[in-house]
Structure 1
């Protein structure tokens, strides 16, 4: 097969120009020449293309050198958007994400999960409501990512393990019966991990722990998900931390899930995780004991991960969002278990704290789009 190198070079230059505008926001042609060392005709041609595609805008002029002022070109962050869903047992959360990866809209509602046509129709209706509220043209919508608490086939089409919601075997085709846009199914922990890698591009290798009502994990090597031979990598919720310990929903005993689920904390405070942490801050003795046990069990899992992967460990999920006041305590517990290091600076709190699962489900569409311009 003969590869047209001219086409490749054109696309390469176009992407460089677009990425520069995305980074700097507002630039003149001369600015772009200085940054990229590309000829002015090439820059003009590519700017015209990006203007035609409505990905950038001509937003005025700058400078006065005695001649004509230089025109300014600006990046349009909402030229395209993607939609992400976070599906849980009792809630549906939708977010709309722009080309920056920023959430521009959140819609969370209580809705019991069902594998039924009315439920899937409701998902379609919710998305249409969001689109209508934001007055988004269909041509701007890149796709819909659906984050679910289950293991997903490599082609993002089928749930092959879905015990949490009892939906093993459910398909993307059913989920998207009423969603007229490109779509994918995504494991919830992988989605949350992707949002974190997006927010911290300097992170190359990391293990992301999703500390939500269910415990999940995602392994990132070279900024890519390591899914494992059978798409089961990172399932830290089911490592054994206490042999023959508390029963887990999976049928085993002693899983991390049984000791570090966010719901275990919330259930001691009338179902409110926020209230639980308020009472911890207030010195409630009962809640402090529960929290100390939680941190102790979590430290075992973190140390095991460090021994296996020797990489940064990122804490996310519902509990991760509350961890800031307690990270030093957790680090001391982790360091006390580490054979080789006397610190745990490799443990950090997630940067992407708001609806990371839903956003992370949407972001693959954004990532693919900006990299193929």
Structure 2
């Protein structure tokens, strides 16, 4: 008798799993492919009409899908388009910096509805985290947003593999901080992710058709990176998540000191601070002088690109993936991308390679936007609880 009950229970769980998977497929189809009729959904996904009807009814109740206009029919009743409602929920992303925070509210496309940057020196004390929570409430209220999926924090540090603690954040002087100590100060579902990972995740999300890429973000202090595989952040298997720490590959043994404590790291040679000496931190001024043909500035830029190409070539040889470059330098680098690629493929093993370098020139807070998109991905993947009714 107990064996029969176990078989029945397993079948029930299996049926529930299949239903949830089918719901995810329908939702993703509408999200990525725009308005579709029920007939199109049935043909594209090879699902039965009752399965589609049941799923759509559940999504309509939560506001995730809407009925669109009627479309032409070859005969009989005209079908209606079913469309994804990108304003049904919103998501929040927060970029944590040493001296300030950037907060964005996005719709389900990842488009920014409103944003704010405010001075807030980092302190790992309850008052700091409560201040961020308060800023989120103020921004959400100003946007007239009612339903928030969650808050993604883009954090400049390394997390443990299980995602339970911040292992180390050198620039913030933080070590071994359990994430629950942070979450308790928020009124929202909160996830915390390495900032370079959120930027890379967002860049691949926006690049339709791209699923695997290396993302590099160039900062004042160095190079950070992430590895996106199958449109997901690749976390590695070590207890400390060090995937994407490309800035600490050694280019010059016993070379310039790096903030990590080592010497000769890529970050030591290609942090933006290397370009600041002559221009007082003004990149516009630096590149204006490069374009004007100033030999000292051109020499410095050429040296910078040579080191950059050496590191990018190593990554391309190791992973054979597209490489996306982001950060403040991205918009300046766009016009020099052919020169950078020429330097990369000068390596004998890369000759003939091409079109693998891209620039992430999104305007605004790319790290915070990527953090917000983590919750959109969870929504589409069925990793969030059932959604509340409006």
Q: TM-score, normalised by structure 1?
A: 0.89
1:239 corresponds to: 249
Aligned length: 371
Matched, 1:200 2:200: no
8 A contact 2:317–2:350 mirrored in 1? no
Matched residue, 2:3:
none
1:124–1:176 Cα contact (<8 Å) kept: no
1:72-91 counterparts in 2 under 5 A? 72-91=81-100
**Alpha-carbon distance in structure 2 between the residues aligned to 1:265 and 1:83:** 33
Query: Is 2:66–2:84's contact at 8 Å kept on the other side of the alignment?
Result: yes
Counterpart of 1:364 (choices 374, 384, 390) is: 374
Match of 2:156 in 1: 149
Name 2:192's counterpart in structure 1. Answer: 185
Aligned equivalents of 2:118, 2:256: Cα separation in 1:
32
Asked if structure 2 preserves the Cα contact closer than 8 Å seen for 1:303 and 1:338, the reply is no
Structure 2: 5+ residue stretches without partners: 1-5
Contact 1:84–1:146 at 8 Å: present in 2 too? yes
1:226 and 2:234 aligned: yes
Show the counterpart of 2:115: 106
The residue aligned with 1:42 is 51
Deviation sequence 1:333-369 (CA, Å, 0-9, x none): 1111343424443222236564221122222211111
Deviates more, 1:269-278 or 1:257-266: 269-278
Which position in structure 1 is the counterpart of 2:16? 7
Cα pair 2:331 2:361 within 8 Å, conserved: no
Whether contact under 8 Å (2:113, 2:143) holds in the other structure is no
How far apart are residue 297 of structure 1 and its match? 1.0
How much has 1:177 moved relative to structure 2?
Answer: 4.1
1:322-361 map, 5 Å = 322-350=332-360, 352=362, 354-361=364-371
Closer, same or farther in 2 for the Cα pair 1:162/1:36, shift >3 Å? closer
Report the CA distance shift for 1:115/1:286 in structure 2 as closer, same or farther (over 3 A): farther
Provide structure 1 residue ranges, at least 5 long, that are not aligned to the other structure.
none
- Match 2:268 to one of 238, 258, 263: 258
CA distance in 1, matches of 2:348, 2:326: 22
Residues 249-287 of structure 1 show CA distances to partners (whole Å, capped at 9, x for unaligned) of: 122221111111123334543333344334433434443
**1:50-83: per-residue Cα shift (whole Å, max 9, x none)?**
1111111224434477865433322100212221
Q: Distance in 1 between matches of 2:285 and 2:123?
A: 29
Structure 2 residue 280 is the aligned partner of structure 1 residue 280:
no
Tell me whether 108-117 or 156-165 shows the greater mean CA deviation: 108-117
Q: TM-score with structure 2 length normalisation?
A: 0.86
Deviations 1:213-251 (A, max 9, x none): 231111234444333323112211111112222211122
Flag the 1:41–1:340 CA change in 2: closer, same or farther, 3 A.
closer
Flag the 1:27–1:220 CA change in 2: closer, same or farther, 3 A: closer
Counterpart Cα distance in 2 of 1:221 and 1:66: 45
- 2:381 aligned counterpart, secondary structure: helix
